[in-house]
Structure 1
């Protein structure tokens, strides 16, 4: 994870440096490349990117990219812990959006929150009703606007004299379903805590303060079950957890790969950090963890990527389909060879799956944001 993070940050830094050197054409090309090819990285590191671009006030394409996301999902910035440190120009840029999907009264609350953070001298003991959110700030409001506001709450249908913007458009349709979907349809928060503990080689499981955040990359039932889809989507991603739900047994079987998946490579992959696992009936109390023993054969990136998905060790956990659908043919299996400490199944029977997911884990993401943001702001 750190290696990929550094690579992407290096590209972002290069864009900043070329801009400071007034190499505008190169800077713009790098900016567009980040948007077109590294959109997932920009979204994962959204807070860092958004807060930093306004320091330079040059990257309008990135600004528009971020504002389009904020318009649909304003909570990503308004509910962030760094909201009150948002640059004034950034806040103004957001408020100018007519398609911001948030009620005006809620936006006003956030504007007051931001404003009071900039000036700590603000009224005390004021209530939460709408009028009391306005009256304490009458000194900064136009007199006519203040009168119109008071009139509006008494006679809302009467015309007002102040010139104001038209009402913000709130879309009636629901936001994409995936936003409200559970993180996983296979595993629970308890499983995630266990994975995090295994990654850290902890003797006990994280009960709270889990330092890892998991981001879903693939869900078979949504993205498709062909091996080729697995390689195309996972290509280049490091530190991933693969989980499958076995048809007929409800076992959860999977593995952790700290290395980057590479759809162009055909080779045995070396690492001493990978592991495979199983949960009988999905029960967290009945788990088997098997760490890599032969690090030179920790994983195998096969030549036939149209038929083979992930292969851990010497097929000690492998997903296979000759009909481009892991759910249709019973060819996936877990061998009992010696690349890993022990077998994660009690038999060598081949199986098909109900569903599978691949998730990317992010280590201390918030700390990385804040530390790197502080570093770049000091340059």
Structure 2
């Protein structure tokens, strides 16, 4: 039996009723100074700061009592601190955002790690609107506090997802240089690079003493001043992601603040893109994804896998894919019916799921379509009949020609399943592609089931968030992606993936019409993906003018 509530109440009473105190602390300054009584034994037991401060080598007594002055901590904040130290409680519901932020600073100074953690969580979950309105102030405070990484990272991610919170703030130009550098180093800043450049210039112009925004009035000394102010920022701009027109009109007027070799390389890149440049080309910033499961950096990794680039992308190209959310389990339901209603005939799709209890993130990529097939979908058997070979005509028509679809299985060489671990380290992943010998059982569709890959490699039956309704049994893909053989999902999402540079809908419509006119079942080379890649796979030989080969498989469902 534990009696913490009574213990907390009794210890809190010592703050008001005890007369055997041996510490006096003066908090705040000027007319706001307030005196607090405390006890050495409690302060030393609860705070590493006071453990040192009350040591024999440091503390000095006056009339038998230790006296501390803390003018940098307000009386209101110090009262919260003492209640936490004595009673293990911290009621922040009625406190303003400014008071809570000051409490965070005081907790850091007094080495109260537990209170630091709780205060950060309270600001994130209970004071979100205040955080958005006071981003600069918050970042100023937490950027130099080592134990406030959680809040600092949250603010930076919030800015990256919607930079307007910061760049449109009237306090943006007061942002500390170190915080601006942290932002520019981020690959997930969701804003066009030319806007990044213009906001950096805006910040540089406003520093003390401010510079005239009219460049025609600048002297050589003004350019040198600006170059000095932005010395840590200039190398972090992704210049090679800025269009030639924007570079000419909005960057080149400031050419004098750029390193000469960088300026020449940018010109060379735009005028003769095939010529190699000497400057370091930073990767393009990662595009966003509306997901409660993964971050943009994970989406970038998956985009590389779609292009058959194994591992992390280090190219200067922007991610060419857009991830459109079709379904979210917590919003739309965890049933097979909801899945088929929202996701059938969407090509291609990405499935993401977070496993209950473990938090492991797994998923799969389907370059073919999901559908409510009525052909042997419940029998446990299927027949595949490859009749012919048809070449793809456009980047987005690949899915029409990369498969043959008789029965509940669909054939493709481009599907894969994966694990991202707990998602904290993007390099901790397992990628498992369909094996060539098992292409005919790559993807399975049934009205009774959700998304399924292989003959059980990744299977979602129905009511996916119920115990035992999802499973992984390694059969047809390259490797096992999780140790969890049977599980339920905490959340799952389905995305339709499109090429940002796709052909117009009219072109696709024409191709669809052309396909509907051709009654012959078709099959194409197995190396057609959403985007052209250099990693060519062995193509499937043309089946035209051959006797159809009927192959029967036991599905094991």
Report the TM-score when normalising by structure 1: 0.46
Greater RCO (CA < 8 Å, at least 6 residues apart): 1
